[in-house]
A and B are shown apart, each in its own frame.
Chain A
């Protein structure tokens, strides 16, 4: 299946732990993104990478670090997890130019920090 796939789908962890969320797309897209959706369903961009190069880095605590080993993968590593990090994290990808093609979203990772 051609898609944007994220793993894991659910992640429950304790405060202070370090965790990673993986994202892979087999659509041949050049740009990948991480968005955070809070409890009020508000989607906010965190990062974007184009061909392994960081393009957008919004005001995100530096406990969050994206890693792009190749243009088909964009992983999100989170250090020292806090309660406020609980949210659904969506990975997305787009063909260039994104404004013409829009995004394809992954199915999300629900992170719960306890």
Chain B
């Protein structure tokens, strides 16, 4: 069965810390991997990764895909309280074109 596993499930840090969130996937006909941030409402898109080894950056956030290890990491540097959210990793399964989600990592950034 297709699955996406995220770790840790929750993380509490202080402002200014750097965090690394992990995601591993086992998905039939893998097409791409996505990271979303979910605060109170809808998941909002962060990154889409299709090629191994190419880092994507957006401000203090960056992410990279390792197709050999079937994994991805999301880094957040100099964390702020506004980064507190659930970070969702999802992998696209080819054929059905459905996104398979992990259970998320709940990040809490304390002042």
List chain A positions with a Cβ less than 8 A from chain B: 4, 31, 33, 35, 40-45, 48, 55-56, 90, 97-100, 102-108
Is there contact, CB below 8 Å, between B98 and A45? yes
Shortest Cβ distance from B31 into A: residue: A99
Instruction: List, in ascending order, chain A residues with CB within 8 A of B98's CB.
Output: 33, 45, 48, 56
List chain B positions with a Cβ less than 8 A from chain A: 31-32, 34, 38, 41-45, 48, 50, 86, 88, 90, 92, 94, 96-101, 103-104, 106
Tally of A-B Cβ pairs under 8 angstroms: 58
Is there contact, CB below 8 Å, between A103 and B32? no
Shortest Cβ distance from B30 into A: residue: A99
Instruction: List, in ascending order, chain B residues with CB within 8 A of A105's CB.
Output: 42-44
**The one of B32, B38, B41, B99 that contacts A41, using a Cβ cutoff of 8 Å:** B38
